[in-house]
Chains A and B, each alone.
Chain A
Amino acid sequence: MLVPPRNKMPMLRVLAGAFDKAAAFVCCALVVALLVCVSLGALTRSLGEPLIWTDELSRFLMVWLAVFGWIVASRKRIHVRIRFFQDRLPKRGHKATELAIQSAMTLFGALIAAYSVGLIGRNHDLEATTLPISMAWMYIPMVLGGSITALQGASEVIETLRRKRLPAARGKVIVE
């Protein structure tokens, strides 16, 4: 978690709360925008005057929605993971495994963020086919997704080191 214990660093806690609220707002806006965009495309096509930019805009929105959903799910720690074997480890083994996992998460997030910056640089002067925007907008959310994953992983490393007992497994799997 990005959130430190209540009595320490309250400013970080406030910032994390504000970030979560902002991310939730962006998620709502993206879902609504996606629905409106696809509906507009269907409507104009059925009227015989299709808008050429709705498909491409919905694909851009899809990238942003997927990444913001990834960020929110990371903050809530509800990504898919198989805890079956980890939960059967002794307490110390469980803690050591969790530290290794969260360190790997930090590394993954940091690498994705870092390499996405390069992608933005290489694509900023390329324009989308039907929209007057740069193709870099496709890769900007990757920096955010990677950065939040890295921060989340790092804070969970700290929290795991501080805590004597690990929290119960949480998860949300509703895709099957």
Chain B
Amino acid sequence: MIHLMLEIVGVWLAAILMGMPLFASMGLAALAFVVFSGLSPSIVPQKMAQAMNSFPLVAAPLFILMGNLLGAAKLTDRIVRFATSLVGSLRGGYAHASILSSMIFAGMVGSAVADAAGTGAVEVRAMKKAGYRPETAAAISAAAATIGPIIPPSLPMVIYGVSADVSIGRLFLAGVVPGVLMGLSLMAMVAIIAPRQGLPRHAFGGLSDVWLAFKESVWALMTPVILLGGMFSGLFTPTEAAAVACLYALFLGFAVYRTLSVKDLPAILINTAETTGIVMVLVMVAGALGWCMSISRIPQTAAPAIVAAIHEPLVFLLVSNVVLLAVGCFMEALAAMLILIPILVPAAISFGIDPVQFGLIMIFNLILGTIHPPIGVVLFVMARIAEVTFEQISRAILPWLVPLLIVLVAITVWPALTLWLPGLVMNK
């Protein structure tokens, strides 16, 4: 069976590279395996439907809905204004404010593209107006957007948690310290680059200005507090917290800021369903293919082989980083994650690596793929917003990868950076 599966995986990878939609290529690979193994082909649609039959997974469409509601409610202007009032007076103040805004917005949305699309336009406009080169402004916003799926809530973490059978709450907590470190490292990079490029500072408006900006955005700033506070106080499960956060987003949009109207809702709901469909059909076929892999004993064979070949957990993590970074260059993060989880997570567990730490490392690596070519979806979004070419932003992003890679190395080498907070809050 293992040889059959390996042959099918070979054809399947060829189909992916040829340009076949990922869900269909994965589904056909699963169907080919069950047919050639003499099993009932009904197993494939059954496993696909069963992959959705999971209450924790219900959090995914609700987090997508929350992001769409907050985006449509135009909260980003208020958040960017608040961040600018706090750190704008530093040299390169708008760049610092852009990073801080993304960190705050990351506590409301769970994806880098949503973060880039949500805060990017406001940040880039402000930076361009202050005299930043458009490609520099776009690169800073793109790099900051990668914090989106690391600071909770996080769509990739929900998918990883369900696929690798790891606590989503623990993953969310594990993302807090790395997310803050990403923000701080990017700010350190701004501090280094700002004097060399002559990036301007924004005049400090005084504490009254900070207070005014805070008052204007306080309701929006409460979103991550409600979401994460409810979850980690044990009041809600992650799925319920997502629903409560959606209701709060509706309350903000309709009652507090009055930036949403009933006629906006159909587009928001359809967009939510579309995104859910794109993501979940991959999870469905990954459920079927994962089952095929497990009965062909690929993970059970691959994990000991990897352990025997590598020996050291740290070497395994470094090799995983290189592989994941390379895969992230050519494949969307979610698809890559679904394909690699059944192979790499058992190997990581065999090495005694906590699957929570490994999940963070995996998501971090694959998210970096969104800000470098050739796939670089966040770069595409930011290039369009900043009206620069993809080549310009691809060059401008390079220095901003350095601080992010340093954080990646740090969370790889020091497990405490990811595991300390979940241990503290959830009494491991």
Contacts and interface: CB of A to CB of B under 8 A. Distances in A.
Interface of A: 24, 27-28, 30-32, 34-35, 38-39, 41-42, 45-46, 55, 58-59, 62-63, 65-73, 76, 78-87, 97-98, 100-101, 104-105, 107-109, 111-112, 115-116, 118-119, 122, 138-139, 141-142, 145-146, 149, 172-176
Given A27-B269, A70-B281, 7 more contacts: A31-B273, A70-B280, A78-B274, A79-B278, A97-B19, A98-B19, A176-B332
29 contacts: A27-B274, A28-B270, A31-B273, A34-B62, A35-B62, A42-B243, A58-B239, A62-B52, A62-B280, A69-B280, A69-B281, A70-B23, A71-B277, A79-B21, A80-B23, A82-B16, A82-B17, A84-B330, A85-B18, A101-B15, A104-B28, A105-B24, A108-B27, A111-B41, A139-B45, A175-B113, A175-B278, A175-B334, A176-B156
> Which secondary structure dominates chain B's binding surface?
helix
Contacts of B45: 112, 115-116, 119, 139, 142, 146
Nearest to B145: A176
Interface of B: 15-25, 27-28, 31, 41-42, 44-46, 48-50, 52-55, 57-58, 61-62, 65, 111-114, 117, 149, 155-156, 235-236, 239-240, 242-244, 246-247, 265-266, 269-270, 272-284, 330-335, 366-367, 369-370, 374-375, 377-378
B18 A66 contact: no
Most central of B27, B243, B265, B332 by chain A CB within 10 Å: B243
Given A27-B269, A173-B332, A80 B278 contact: yes
A80 B22 contact: yes
Contacts of B22: 79-82
Contact of A69 (B20, B149, B278): B278
B273 A176 contact: no
Contacts of A97: 18-19
Contacts of B378: 176
A80 to B, nearest CB: 5
10 closest cross-chain pairs (CB), A and B:
A69-B277, A86-B19, A27-B273, A66-B280, A42-B240, A38-B243, A28-B269, A70-B281, A176-B333, A70-B277
B61 A65 contact: yes
Contact of A174 (B20, B46, B48, B111): B111
Nearest to B269: A28
A89 to B, nearest CB: 9
Contacts of B42: 115-116, 118-119, 122
Contacts of A76: 274
Given A28-B266, A46-B235, A104 B24 contact: yes
B65 A35 contact: yes
A79 B27 CA distance: 14
A81 B278 CA distance: 11
A35 B246 contact: yes
B269 A32 contact: yes
A175 B275 contact: yes
Contact of B330 (A35, A65, A66, A82): A82
Nearest to B244: A42
A176 B28 contact: no
A66 B48 CA distance: 10
Given A39-B247, A80-B22, A69 B52 contact: no
B58 A58 contact: yes
Contacts of A72: 270, 273-274, 277
A86 B17 CA distance: 8
Contact of A104 (B20, B244, B280, B282): B20
B279 A62 contact: no
A121 B117 CA distance: 45
Contacts of B113: 173-176
Nearest to B277: A69
Nearest to A73: B277
A59 B54 contact: yes
A108 B31 contact: yes
Given A39-B247, A41-B240, A176-B111, A107 B49 contact: no
B151 to A, nearest CB: 14
A86 B24 contact: no
Contacts of B266: 24, 28
Contact of B58 (A34, A80, A87): A34
Given A59-B55, A63-B52, A176 B366 contact: yes
Nearest to B333: A176
